Chain A
Amino acid sequence: MKDSASPFDRVWALIAAEPVSSTDKPDLVGWMQRLCRAASTALPATGVGITVMSGDGDPATVAASDPHSATVEDLQFILGEGPCIDAYNTGRPVLAPDLAVAVRVRWPGYGLAAQEHGVQAAFAFPLQIGAARLGALDVYRDQPGSLSPETIIEALTFADAAMTGLLDAQQRSNENDLAPGLDEALDNRFELYQAQGMVAIQLGTGLHEAMIRIRAYAYAHNRALSDVADDIIARNIVFETDS
């Protein structure tokens, strides 16, 4: 149902075209670093960072477009407040176009510290599928001002791409194998989310793990995610903990 030049495909191509830097970490973190650089150029932004939370809410992994943005990304976890944390907790984007205002009403510590690092506006987009929340993508700018509607859409699409990359990370051997158009999990098909809930109970795991397993099954059997979801709901496919 996707046309060939969907926003997702375009963003995916931008990430793939982003040159590998010698400072990139291997595997998924390196890929997220390239995603951050591609996003920083495309939006445009002064910097972009991604934080992936561990299950207990502590930040587990951080990637950023540049070392300075990585420092800014870390600030909210040192200070315990900030747009990324709010986006993660509320499950919605958090847009702070002027940190000079936010410092008074929202994040006294973070607002001040981010400004000291030259950040005047911060925008956080959650990485999530329903209740499966992984973290957030943060966009920083050195000038105050709202993001245009087009830029917000672009940022949300980069967040979709990050989510897709995170879901696929556990099963791909080579990041270049990742074909575009694998964002079906983000297509709002309610059967898939119902199936996700069922599999989470079947496996006794979280919703995030359930989606990874459903996708792995679909790839392994070369079937569409929606068909697999229908079979899960019909109880034709049942996941077991040791399979």
Chain B
Amino acid sequence: MIAAERLAEVFVELADTLIDDFDLIEFLQMLATHTSDLFDARAAGLLLADHRGRLQVMAASDERSEMLELFQVQAHEGPCQDCFTHGKAVVNADLTQANDRWPNFAPRAVTAGYRSVHAFPLRLRNQTYGALNLFGTDTGQMDPTDTKIVQALADIATIGMLQQRAIQRGDDLTEQLQGALNTRIVIEQAKGMIAQTHGISPDQAFNLLRAYCRKNSLPLTDVANRVITQPASLGDLLNPG
């Protein structure tokens, strides 16, 4: 069970983000990190469906390529895909016993060191928009109360997306989702540009990018856009030295 005080802080911080100048990617990133911390999950990620109904990674507490791959492979098969298809949570799935259920996903997750996985729907009424995904390194069962709390966090993510829709002069959610999906691609392109400029891996490039954002209290989206629009400033902007 997690501490009520800590949980209250997280909810307040998320609510605070919602009324600030809202950046969906930043919000989902914060949610993934908090979810991972709160529940001792080794990794948490948020996936949203694109217009083709395919799940795409939007934010993760762990951005290593290996981990992103593990989220992304679930666009085809895995707990997130099941959760998205049925609109129901998949909890306490034992990865060592899941080869029949997910022949492609389960062995990869086990090789990466995970033993349990959960997926919670991002859902409002009858519509499912994506999934909140948690990985653990042991097969211990998630406390039923914690299960409810994670679903509450997933609901906050959904409300966050719809809230933004409401505050922006009635624009369709499509506009927000498509914009966020594309922004996620911009972040990957920025990783590549930084990696090439400094002769490092895209994973190391992301660490530089994130460190720079934290140091300067800037959203990832803004800095990624700056990397791309002003590549000449790449050296100064993100100096690995």
Q: Which A residues fall within an 8 A CB radius of B?
A: 1, 6-8, 90-95, 105, 126, 128-132, 146, 149, 152-153, 156-157, 187-191, 193-202, 207, 233
Additional pairs, 13, CB under 8 Å, beyond known A91-B182, A194-B191: A92-B182, A93-B172, A130-B185, A188-B57, A188-B185, A194-B195, A194-B202, A196-B192, A197-B192, A200-B192, A201-B231, A202-B196, A233-B202
Given A95-B174, A193-B189, A207-B228, residue A188 in contact with residue B56 (CB < 8 A): yes
Chain A hits for B184, CB < 8 A: 188
Taken together as a complex, chains A and B put the C-alpha atoms of A6 and B50 apart, in Å, by: 14
Taken together as a complex, chains A and B put the C-alpha atoms of A194 and B184 apart, in Å, by: 11
Q: Closest 8 CB pairs between A and B?
A: A197-B192, A92-B179, A130-B185, A193-B188, A194-B192, A201-B196, A197-B193, A198-B196
Q: Do B178 and A194 touch across chains, with their CB atoms under 8 A apart?
A: no
Q: Interface size on B (CB < 8 Å)?
A: 41
Given A130-B189, A198-B196, residue A92 in contact with residue B178 (CB < 8 A): yes
Given A1-B76, A129-B185, residue A197 in contact with residue B175 (CB < 8 A): no
Q: Do A191 and B175 touch across chains, with their CB atoms under 8 A apart?
A: no
Q: Which of B56, B189, B194, B202 contacts A131 (CB 8 A)?
A: B189
Q: Which B residues fall within an 8 A CB radius of A?
A: 50-52, 54, 56-57, 65, 68, 72, 75-76, 169, 171-172, 174-176, 178-179, 181-186, 188-197, 201-202, 225, 228-229, 231
Q: Which of B57, B178, B194, B231 contacts A156 (CB 8 A)?
A: B178
Q: Do B193 and A190 touch across chains, with their CB atoms under 8 A apart?
A: no
Instruction: Please give the distance in Å from B104's CB to the nearest CB on chain A.
Output: 11
Q: Do B189 and A194 touch across chains, with their CB atoms under 8 A apart?
A: yes
